[in-house]
Amino acid sequence: MKELVHFDGEALGHARHTVLADLTLGLQDGQRVALLGPSGVGKSTLLATLRERLGQRAAWCPQEHGLVPPLSVYHNIYMGRLEHHSALANLVNLLRPRRDAWRDIQALCAELGLSGLLKRPVVQLSGGQRQRVAIARALYQVRDVFLGDELVASIDPYQARRLLTMIQRQHATCVIALHQRELALTHFDHVWGLRDGQLILDAPAHELTLADLDTLYPDAGSTDTRPEPA
Amino acid sequence: MSDERAPGLLAGNSLNLRLARRSLGLIALCLMVLPFADLAITTHDPWAELGRMLTGLLHPDILATESLPHAIALTIGFALWGTLLGMLLGFPLALLFHRSRLVRAGCAFVRAIHELFWALLLLQVFGLSALTAIAALTIPYAGIFAKVYAEILELTPRAPVDALPEGVGRLSRFVYAELPMVWARLSSYTRYRFECAMRSSVLLGFVGLPTLGFHLESAFREGRYAEAGALLWVFYLMIASLALWGHRRLLPWIALGSLFLLGPWPDIDGALLWRFVSVDLWPKPLLEGNWSGLWQWFGEIPDLLPAIGNTLLLGLMGTAGSLLVALLLWPLASRHFGNRPTRMAGKGVLILMRSTPELMLAFIFLLVLGPSMLPAWLALSLHNGALIAFLVARHADAIVPGSHALPASACYAYELLPRLYGGLLALLFYRAETIIRETALLGMLGIATLGFHIDSSFAYLMFDQAFFLLLVTAGLNIAVDALARRYRPRETADTASERDHPAGEATC
């Protein structure tokens, strides 16, 4: 199997602050990876670095969505392929949508349950709808690898499964940060688990149980969720 | 155990104490220089004159003015085209603003000269024409738009740009991921600036352009107060109804329609224009390279230093006065004080005072009190104080007091003012630039600031002197702006307030 990205004992982070130390990790072609770990552990940093390494091969769906609220759903999704058209064509498209792009985006929206919303400004959408617009924009990019950061956080479990299936149908390779441990085992064939700035889990999904995944979360062991006395 | 002594008067290092010391310093400085100001009341019976004016305001005669609709249409037309062209010039400059020192300096210079001074200058070449009026608004507005647009663009959220795929061109990135994010703020500022342009357009009447201000000035000057009252009402109605007729879809049609009224356009004689710019505006000894002659030329400028002194003096008095007026008046329009009728009345008074330009207020006070610094001081303090009070009241309304059922004085002093004071002072310091600009301008009414000498130099066709004084005025303005920037409170007790009123809102 071909390896797309490889980290060999690297430190990831920002200018002065190391988020993940001594990371050794490989992303194989055709691997569907669930990225787990408590909030703030460095999932976004890892994904951003993967995006940087993969360049044009990665479709990108960030945690904060990065949508432009005043623009319509159509234009937000169109932005996924903004670099494929000339500046002039993009300008004209703002005034009068391109027929071909409109058709493609309409079909995409129908699959994602966004039919009839193409002309609506994103600012008027609900949280779940915005999430799906962000996913649609990433799907519209038509790249080899899908990178998603907490894609299905604000979506109900049934829809979350459907969306993951859709994404994986189009992308043989994907890395998606999640909080739902069950989905990690049912919809992915590999799990990366981060805790305390370290990769502590790097295993095929079929070898893991929910209890294994619980070890990633510091509060999961105790039934008492109150903070311990200092 | 350390025994902590109660601090002395105004001692301590908390933010509000530092601000209080700074404000008291400003007021003390103002009191120290006050004896140098000429504050005499020279009219025989000011109250009777004021009474006659109020009678006129209460019994307006709307039919007294000839060609009133034409004057209204011209006022709107000038304002609209001035704003529109200023916007078209200012926007590209805003994109270069943070990259080019030259652009920043140029914008600071054109901003520093008041619209009316530009009108006086342009009048010499283009005569009493629409070109003079529109250019007089367009030139300074281009500088203002460039600065404010640049400030707004700087605050564009980064997330949409970061989410874009690699290799998107600069223009596509701008129109898809940046411009839409700040569009609402850009257009609301532009709308606000149009309101300012309406006021300036009225004022253009004071230099003879046939807008509403022209009729207003002559009616007041000749004591026809019923007519003047009617014109004032028309002016307030025009500003108040802006939301009704100033619709985005309607404005282009109004702009096109007004084109038919703006003519006749002046013939531009290129040679004459070139002569004016290259020869008339400059001192003759300078063009001849005669340095001793230049020294003599400087000596012939009458009262330059007293004029600068008076401008600074009045500017300082106006700033301190605005501070006191704002502190006194903001509760009038705030939901924390009074009842519904008093708030309505308070808001009405504040809006009336902030909608009336300083020059117009000063002109009216001048007729009542006679020529001295007093009418100008009152006008500056009331207009700017009311403007700041209005904005502060809006911020106060967003505050939920921690304790209930406090007496009004305690609520003012303990709950609200400590949270608002930093914002209030920041607004005042932003405003200082405008106050000094207006101070110079008020000279046109006969008060011995720089504007008086600029106006008379133009009247005697001494363009070189007038231009030099304009440069001095601009330099003074830029210096005061830099000073105010230096002492402007950066941190406020209520940090949220800093972001919702960008610099722009306070500069009209």
Q: pLDDT digit string (tens) for B478-488?
A: 998 888 888 87
In this predicted model, what pLDDT tens digit does every residue of A100-112 receive, in sequence order?
Answer: 999 999 999 999 9
Rounded to the nearest angstrom, the minimum Cα separation between B146 and chain A is 23
Per DSSP, the three-state class of B351 is helix
- Looking at residue A179, its pLDDT comes to 85
Q: Which of A64, A82, A91 sits opposite B164 (nearest CB)?
A: A82
Using CA coordinates, name the residue in chain B closest to A66. B160
Best of A54, A83, A123 to disrupt the B interface (most B CBs within 10 Å) is: A83
Dig out the tokens for B28 from the structure: 């003390």
Among chain B residues, CA nearest to A69: B181
User: Is the CB of A68 less than 8 angstroms away from the CB of B160?
Assistant: yes
Average pLDDT, chain A: 88
The reported pLDDT for the residue numbered A222 is 52
Q: Is the pLDDT of residue A224 over 70?
A: no
B172–A82 C-beta distance less than 8 A: yes
Nearest partner of B475 among B323, B311, B319, judged by Cα: B311
Q: Are the beta carbons of B176 and A62 separated by less than 8 Å?
A: no
pLDDT score of B144 more than 50: yes
pLDDT computed for residue B133 by the predictor:
96
Which chain A residue's Cα is nearest to B182? A70
- Which of B11-15, B17-21, B345-349 is predicted least confidently? B11-15
Q: Is A70–B176 a contact, with Cβ atoms under 8 angstroms apart?
A: no
Q: How far is B153 from chain A (nearest CA, A)?
A: 15
Answer whether A60 sits within 8 Å of B165, measured CB to CB: yes
Residue A14 in contact with partner chain B when CB distance is under 8 A: no
Do the Cβ atoms of B392 and B427 come closer than 8 Å? yes
A positions 95-154 inside 8 Å of B (CB): 137, 141
Question: Is A80 near chain B, with CB under 8 Å?
Answer: yes
Rounded to 5, what percent of chain B is helix, strand, coil? 75, 0, 25
First to last CA, chain B: 55
Q: Which of A127-141, B278-292, B322-336, B491-505 is least confident?
A: B491-505
Segment B257-268 shows an average pLDDT of 84
* More confident of the two residues B46 and A91: A91
β-pair type (A173-177, A32-36): parallel
With tokens 């009474």, the residue in question is B51
Residue B409 — very low, low, confident or very high, per pLDDT cuts 50/70/90?
Answer: confident
pLDDT given at position B504: 45
With beta carbons less than 8 A apart as the criterion, state whether B486 and B322 touch. no
Segments in B34-114 forming alpha helices (H):
46-58, 68-96, 101-112
Contact A68 B181 (CB under 8 A): yes
Kindly report, residue by residue over A173-190, the tens digit of the pLDDT: 999 998 888 889 999 999
A148 φ, ψ (degrees, to nearest 5): -130, 140
Please give the Cα distance from B177 to B175 (Å, whole number).
6
Chain B contacts to A (CB-CB under 8 A) = 159-169, 171-173, 175-177, 180-181, 183-184
Q: B162, A68: Cβ pair inside 8 Å?
A: no
Structural contact between residues B178 and B153, judged by C-beta atoms closer than 8 angstroms: yes
Whether residue B181 contacts residue B160, with contact meaning beta carbons closer than 8 Å, is answered with yes
With cut-offs at 50, 70 and 90, classify the pLDDT of residue B141: very high
Using the Cβ of A81 and the Cβ atoms of chain B, whether some distance falls under 8 Å is answered with yes
CB contact under 8 Å between B171 and A79, yes or no, is no
- Cβ distance A87 to B160 less than 8 Å, yes or no, reads no
Maximum distance among all Cα pairs of chain B, rounded to whole angstroms = 86
* DSSP bridge partners of A36: A193
Percent of chain B with pLDDT over 70: 95
In this predicted structure, the answer to whether residue B79 has a pLDDT above a threshold of 50 is yes
* Whether pLDDT at B371 is above 60: yes
Alpha-carbon gap, residue B12 to A117, rounded angstroms: 59
Rounded to whole angstroms, what are the CA distances from B333 to B326, B337, B346? 11, 8, 5
> Distances in Å between the alpha carbon of B323 and those of A226, B362, B407?
52, 18, 24
Supply the pLDDT for residue B491: 57
Q: Which residue of A has its CA nearest to B171?
A: A87
Confidence of residue B507 (pLDDT cuts 50, 70, 90): low
Which fold does the domain B68-262 belong to in CATH? MetI-like fold (1.10.3720)
CA distances from B473 to B311, B380, B453, B457 (A): 9, 18, 11, 14
- The confidence score (pLDDT) of residue A65 equals 84
Q: What token pair was written down for B486?
A: 């230096």
Give bridge partners of residue A203 from the DSSP assignment: A191
Of B166, B183, B184, nearest to A55 by CB-CB distance is: B166
Residue A148, strand partner residues: A61, A176
| Count of CB pairs separated by less than 8 Å, A with B | 71
Place of tokens 């009004």: B408
Instruction: Check CB contact of A90 with chain B, cutoff 8 Å.
Output: yes
Instruction: In chain B, list all ranges with CATH 1.10.3720.10.
Output: 15-43+301-506, 68-262
Distances (CA, A) of A215 to A81, A182, A193, B218: 40, 14, 9, 86
Cα A130 from chain centroid (whole Å): 14
CA distance A93 to chain B (A): 10
Q: Which of B226, B219, B175, B187 is nearest to B57 (CA)?
A: B226
**What pLDDT score was predicted for residue B20?**
87
| Higher per-residue confidence, A70 vs B63 | A70
CB contact under 8 A, B169 and A87: yes
Contact criterion met (CB below 8 Å) for B313 and B37: yes
How many CB atoms neighbour CB B354 within 10 A? 20
Q: Please provide the distance, in angstroms rounded to a whole number, between the alpha carbons at the two ends of chain A.
A: 50
Residue of A78, A82, A98 to mutate, interface with B, max B Cβ within 10 Å: A82
A222 touches chain B (CB under 8 A): no
Q: How confident is the model at residue B2 (pLDDT cuts 50, 70, 90)?
A: low
d(CA B134, CA A69): 36
- Nearest residue of A to residue B159, measured between CA atoms: A66
Contact at CB, B176 and A71, closer than 8 angstroms: yes
Residue B14 confidence class, pLDDT cut points 50, 70, 90: confident
Looking at chain A, which residue has its C-alpha nearest residue B184? A70
Average pLDDT, chain B: 88
Tell me how long chain B is: 508
Q: Which of the residues A47, A53, A76, A79 would you substitute to probe the B interface, choosing the one with the greatest number of B C-beta atoms within 10 Å?
A: A79
Nearest to A71 among B168, B173, B180 (CB): B180
Closest CA of chain A from B251, distance in Å: 20
Best CA proximity match to B135, nearest among B120, B147, B150, B146: B120
pLDDT at residue number A225: 46
**A 27-56 residues with CB < 8 A to B:** 55-56
- SS3 for B370-437 is CCCHHHHHHHHHHHHHHHHHHHHHHHHHCCCCCCCCCCHHHHHHHHHHHHHHHHHHHHHHHHHHHHHH
Name the helix (H) or strand (E) containing A192: strand A190-195
Interface-testing mutation among B172, B179, B182, B188, with chain A (most A C-beta atoms within 10 A): B172
Q: Do A62 and B164 touch (CB under 8 A)?
A: no
Domain over A3-214 is classified CATH 3.30.420.40: no
Residue B321 exposure: Cα atoms within 13 Å on the Cβ side: 20
Q: Residue A115: pLDDT above 50?
A: yes
Out of B163, B164, B171, the one facing A87 most closely (by C-beta) is B171
Give the CATH number of domain B15-43+301-506. Answer: 1.10.3720.10
Residue B175 is classified by DSSP as I
Residue B460 has pLDDT above 80, yes or no: yes
* Residue of chain B whose Cα is closest to the Cα of A94: B176
- Tell me the pLDDT band of A155, cut-offs 50, 70 and 90: confident
Q: What ipTM score was computed for the predicted complex, to two decimals?
A: 0.86
Is the backbone peptide bond immediately before B264 cis, with ω within 30 degrees of 0?
yes
Do strands A198-204 and A173-177 pair parallel, antiparallel, or not at all (unpaired)?
A: unpaired
DSSP B278-339: IIITS-HHHHHT-HHHHHHHHHHSTTHHHHHHHHHHHHHHHHHHHHHHHHHHGGGG-TTSS-
Distances (CA, A) of B30 to B21, B24, B36, B315, B319: 14, 10, 10, 10, 9
Q: Does A91 touch chain B (CB under 8 A)?
A: yes
**Which range, of B2-11, B230-239, B476-485, averages the lowest pLDDT?**
B2-11
Q: Do A70 and B183 touch (CB under 8 A)?
A: yes
Confidence (pLDDT) at B501: 45
The answer on pLDDT for B179 being more than 60 is yes
Inter-chain touch B175–A91, beta carbons under 8 Å: yes
Mean pLDDT of the region B43-54:
88
Q: How confident is the model at residue B40 (pLDDT cuts 50, 70, 90)?
A: confident
Contact B363, B445 (CB under 8 A): yes
With bands split at pLDDT 50, 70 and 90, how would you rate the model's confidence at B153? very high
Residue B185: list chain A partners with CB under 8 A.
none
What's the rounded Cα separation, in Å, for the pair B413 and B144? 36
What's the mean pLDDT in A50-61?
92
Contacts of A60 in chain B (CB under 8 A): 163, 165
Instruction: Say if residues A199 and A24 touch (Cβ distance below 8 Å).
Output: yes
Minimum-distance CB partner of A80 among B160, B165, B171: B165
Å between B170 CA and nearest CA of chain A:
8
Which residues of chain B does A83 touch, with a Cβ-Cβ cutoff of 8 Å? 164-169, 172
What are the chain B neighbours of A94 within 8 Å (beta carbons)?
175-176
